[in-house]
Amino acid sequence: MATLLRRLAMPGCSSRRCLGVILREMHSRTSPLNPRDGPRLLAGGSLPLTAYSRTHSRWQHTKAADPPEVELHRLEGEDNGIVEVLMCRHKARNALGFVFVSQMRGLVSSLSEDSAVRVVIFRSLVPGVFCAGADLKERARMNDAMSDSFVHMLRTLMTQIASLPMPTIAAMDGAALGGGLEMALACDLRTAAHSAQMGLIETTRGLLPGAGGSQRLPRTVGMTLAKELIYTGKRVGGQKALEMGLVNRSVEQNETGDAAHREALSLAREILPQAPIAVRLAKEAMDRGIEVDITSAMKIEKMCYALDRKEGMDAFIEKRPPRLLWRRAATGVCVYRLSGARSVALQALQNALSQQLDIFVGLWVCVHQLQLLQAALLQQHATVASGCRHTG
């Protein structure tokens, strides 16, 4: 059984494609399958199930020609160094489904290794919405194990966004609810239109924030206010969000519906001229320092400052880009200099863990498909047996 599951989890597995064909045929038919249909189905008489792979994780069938749900846009000219992550799952209001999350994870992973990226803006191309949160229709079709694996994948995505070495900005021109607001909270900065609605509304549906919202919201607006927002599932507009510190800037929506994006772009342009290494190390010092006591945080700040100062000054005097190298701090702890790429060892570990997670999810998909097939065959057998008793 273990060997079968490993084989089914491999990308392009012909046995799994056949299994997908049989399941879809059984689902679409009103009468039981005829054993004589077997050769046709096994020969691929229907469309094959999309292979589950590390780069395009899918638990449901999707056409090869489906447009991407997340895209990357690199600005040029004076805005060179600003990159926009475009969310464009129009049919589902950018709901966080398997394909969306998988594509976003791959894209964010590539950004973390790109030294040319200075600022990242997350924005939506779907009018009136930033991200509507979890895809509840898709989630309803998952069993408990698949749901747990997907939530883990979603948490990993939010951590990836929060761990990007360059500044990140969420531009909310529309609703950011549940997981959508959690994504925005994973960013360093947030802009919003006055008309945008934001909220961690999971408690209104018998759930709780499961992708970091219960931890990042208190760190953003304070514990007392965060508890009120989560307990009540309250939605707030852009102006109220600005008052409570949930967003950095809030602006009146314009006729084209992209006021928050324009404000985010303006903010990115303010960051762009600043020394990129200093900005990244400042982010590192703040993000790491907030998790420890003030004494330890001051040591982190000192470490980042010492690492950056000499090389930055030398590069300025010599009129060259700074060199980003590994250094050993006075404490004897090996510390890496921030660049577009994290340390090779750390990145390799992250990639390996990500790949293992995707394989695990793929195995659960296969197990679920086998369970469905078994249940359908048992039902068909019972129907045939009942028919034989009546005819006898």
Query: Rounded to an integer, what is the distance from CA 55 to the centroid of its chain?
Result: 13
Taking alpha carbons only, the member of 193, 237, 188, 186 closest to residue 209 is 186
Looking at 1.10.12, 3.90.320, 3.90.198, 1.10.1740, the CATH number of the domain 276-342 comes to 1.10.12
Note the pLDDT of residue 255: 92
pLDDT at residue 270, as a whole number: 96
Q: Which two tokens stand for residue 5?
A: 């599951």
Whole-Å CA distances, 229 to 21, 129, 235, 273, 299: 46, 20, 8, 37, 34
Compute φ and ψ for 326, nearest 5 degrees: -75, 140
The CATH code that applies to domain 70-271 is: 3.90.226.10
Predicted pLDDT at 366: 66
Are the C-beta atoms of residues 301 and 282 closer than 8 Å to each other? no
Judge whether 215 and 168 are in contact, CB under 8 Å.
Answer: no
Of 265, 221, 263, 218, nearest to 243 by C-alpha is 221
Alpha-helical regions (H) of the chain:
2-9, 14-28, 38-42, 98-112, 136-140, 144-162, 179-186, 213-221, 223-232, 238-243, 259-271, 276-289, 294-318, 344-391
Which residues, at least 6 apart from 307, have a Cβ–Cβ distance to it below 8 Å? Answer: 281, 327, 329, 335, 337
| Half-sphere CA count of 271, side-chain side, radius 13 A | 28
pLDDT at residue 184 in the model: 96
In the three-class reduction of DSSP (H, G, I as helix; E, B as strand; rest coil), residue 381 is classed as helix
Length reported for the chain: 392
Cross-sheet strand order for the sheet of 198-199: 129-131, 175-177, 198-199
Please provide the DSSP assignment of 298-334 as one string.
Answer: HHHHHHHHHHHHHHHHHHHHHTSPPP---EE-TTS-E
Q: Average pLDDT per run of 10 along the chain, which is 392 residues long?
A: 49 49 45 44 37 37 68 93 94 90 92 90 95 85 84 92 95 94 97 95 87 93 95 94 96 94 96 86 88 82 68 76 45 37 48 56 61 76 71 62
Of 22, 3, 13, 82, give the one whose Cα is nearest residue 370.
Answer: 22
Which pLDDT score, from 0 to 100, does residue 322 have?
Answer: 64
Q: Which residues are catalytic?
A: 134, 179, 182, 202
Contacts of 205 (CB under 8 A, 6+ apart): 136
What residue ranges do the domains of the chain occupy?
2-49+345-391, 70-271, 276-342
